[in-house]
Structure 1
Amino acid sequence: MKRKYIISAVILLSTIIYSCKKNAVQEISVPVSGAQLKYFNFALNAPVVNFYAGSTKVTAASSTTGIESGTSGVAFSNVYPSTNAYAIIAPGTYDFMAQRPSTATADPNLVIATLNKQVAEGKNYSIYLSGLYNTTTKKTDVFVIDDVLPAIDTSGAYIRLVHASYNANPFDLVLKNTTSLVETTVATNVAYKSASNFAKVPQGVYDLILRYTGTPNNIVIRTAVSVIKSNTYSFSLRGDITLPYTGTAVNRPVIDNTPNR
């Protein structure tokens, strides 16, 4: 009887992965077959969108009626999936599109960004909406990062910096241990629409500090971030660099912390 339950579970998992309806979403955190993607809506003033790979919706909630919710989707500053999982799609070349929900009050079905990308079996990718959403052209920037994830390492964690702030110069990322106060530079000269390689760091609690390359001044800080061994993290800068990073302004510079694994 126990063996029958195991077989049934495997069949159900296979059905989830390979069913590919227009509104289907595959999100899973165990080894699977396919290309794995994360989606970031970091474009300033961008509306809620759903992400599509060709005609297939790959983010937001599945629909049982075939009719989208006008408010569902990925809003500004949000990530899908927000956990350490990825969304799964079949390998191939796609036009990845950020599109307004079909039932949205404003601009239904409007595509605000398109990116053509080939994705491969067993590979991981992050797609970022970035820049400043143009209310006249109703378009925004988009870029993709290949997530070359390191092997799981129980002796430390891996972190990287992704630069998604359109009006900021290249940055260095400095980690300051909140206990020892020791500062370690883990990424240098990271420009807009690019990412540093993953760097191994000891488990600990750190202040994340961004400094313009070759300068001593702290430009953006995020305090008391826990970094846990065996995990992998992307620290992504978003926002308008002309604003102070303190306060509550929606478009202020923020260092997002999203686990990759």
Structure 2
Amino acid sequence: MKNKYFLIPAVAFIISIFLYSCEKNAVQIIDVPVSGAQLKFFNFGVNAPVVNFFANETKVSAALSATGVESGTTGVAYGTVFPAINSYAVIAPGTYNFKGQRPSTATSDANLAISSLSTAVQDGKNYSLYLAGIYNSTSKTIESFIVEDALPPVDTSGGYVRFVHAISNANPLNLVLKNNVTGVETVVATNIAYKSASSFVKVPFGTYELYCRYPNSATNIISRNGTSAVSVLRANTYTFSIRGDITVTSATAANRPFIDNTPNR
């Protein structure tokens, strides 16, 4: 499968054989593998406002702009991911201050960074950066963390899945996949704590219900089943992340505990 990558411009960013310059808010999409560090950005901070993600002072998530003027309504909203498709944004390797920042044209808190995380990213590696926890409306801050996406080799005999825990008020959890046809349950991640990720594990391709359970318990704490069951396709790789507030019991509230399915490749 051919991956798409979003190439992010910045001063003196030289990616592979590409030398380019363009306006700060532009995002280029290319269809060939490139060198650099590759990132996905998740706004999974409960009650967090729309943000754009920055590496130092360079925007790395944005809608394309014909005028160079940033939109105050577009960006990465709660529960969404950039890039949304099975691709990554690409930047030069190095140490960055990654920020979740309010749009410059937002009607409130314009340009305010609600999260900040200083970390190094390496050439040829993939990463996922999460806003997580519960937004503090007084300090106007949210937690963030980053995990490496150690993608397995493409394997046409099955698919690969992993589990990321992004609910700040939930204890460590297991992730269980239940095959919709056979009914067989497989524990694919064990005792994963907040701000942590499991390794990718291979599972047969098929349709699965997803359940989060506390270790040594058969009780489903978070479920994704019925019409929201997920398909695992051969040769594909998926991250199942949890977000929300574990104390919410409503089945429809936006901040309820939820299992997200994001294809990595």
TM-score normalised by length of structure 2: 0.90
Q: Unaligned regions of 5+ residues in structure 1, if any?
A: 1-12
Counterpart secondary structure, 1:247: coil
Counterpart secondary structure, 1:95: strand
Q: Please report how far the alpha carbon of residue 215 of structure 1 lies from its aligned counterpart in structure 2 after TM superposition.
A: 1.0
1:75-154 equivalences in 2 (<5 Å): 75-154=77-156
Matched, 1:227 2:232: yes
What amino acid is aligned across from residue 257 of structure 1 in structure 2?
A: N
Of the structure 1 ranges 34-43 and 61-70, higher mean CA displacement relative to structure 2 is found in 61-70
2:16 and 2:36 in contact (8 A); partners too: no
1:25 and 1:57 in contact (8 A); partners too: no
1:28 and 1:88 in contact (8 A); partners too: no
- Alignment partner for residue 248 of structure 1, among 249, 252, 255? 252
Question: Within 2, Cα distance between the matches of 1:139 and 1:53?
Answer: 18
1:7-86 equivalences in 2 (<5 Å): 18-19=20-21, 21-28=23-30, 30-86=32-88
Question: Within 2, Cα distance between the matches of 1:20 and 1:38?
Answer: 22
Question: Within 1, Cα distance between the matches of 2:121 and 2:16?
Answer: 20
Question: Within 2, Cα distance between the matches of 1:36 and 1:181?
Answer: 36
Give the corresponding residue for 1:238: 243
Question: Within 2, Cα distance between the matches of 1:32 and 1:17?
Answer: 12
Counterpart secondary structure, 1:214: coil
Q: Please report how far the alpha carbon of residue 194 of structure 1 lies from its aligned counterpart in structure 2 after TM superposition.
A: 0.3
2:159 and 2:232 in contact (8 A); partners too: yes
Question: Within 2, Cα distance between the matches of 1:17 and 1:126?
Answer: 25
1:38 and 1:125 in contact (8 A); partners too: yes
1:174 and 1:187 in contact (8 A); partners too: yes
Q: Deviations over 1:101-152 (max 9, x none)?
A: 0010010000000111111111100000001110110000000001100000
Q: Unaligned regions of 5+ residues in structure 2, if any?
A: 1-14
2:16 and 2:34 in contact (8 A); partners too: no
Counterpart secondary structure, 1:216: coil
Q: Please report how far the alpha carbon of residue 66 of structure 1 lies from its aligned counterpart in structure 2 after TM superposition.
A: 2.7
Q: Which has the larger radius of gyration?
A: 1
1:243 and 1:253 in contact (8 A); partners too: yes
Quick check: which one's helix share is greater?
A: 1
Of the structure 1 ranges 159-168 and 246-255, higher mean CA displacement relative to structure 2 is found in 246-255
Q: Please report how far the alpha carbon of residue 26 of structure 1 lies from its aligned counterpart in structure 2 after TM superposition.
A: 4.0
Q: Cα RMSD (Å) of the superposition? A: 1.7
Question: Within 1, Cα distance between the matches of 2:158 and 2:143?
Answer: 34
Identity of aligned residues (%): 62
Of the structure 1 ranges 246-255 and 91-100, higher mean CA displacement relative to structure 2 is found in 246-255
Counterpart secondary structure, 1:179: coil
Question: Within 1, Cα distance between the matches of 2:153 and 2:77?
Answer: 32
What amino acid is aligned across from residue 42 of structure 2 in structure 1?
A: F
1:91 and 1:119 in contact (8 A); partners too: yes
Matched, 1:211 2:213: yes
Q: Please report how far the alpha carbon of residue 17 of structure 1 lies from its aligned counterpart in structure 2 after TM superposition.
A: 7.4
Q: Please report how far the alpha carbon of residue 213 of structure 1 lies from its aligned counterpart in structure 2 after TM superposition.
A: 1.1
What amino acid is aligned across from residue 210 of structure 1 in structure 2?
A: C
Q: 1:27 to 1:86 in 2, by over 3 A?
A: farther
What amino acid is aligned across from residue 232 of structure 1 in structure 2?
A: T
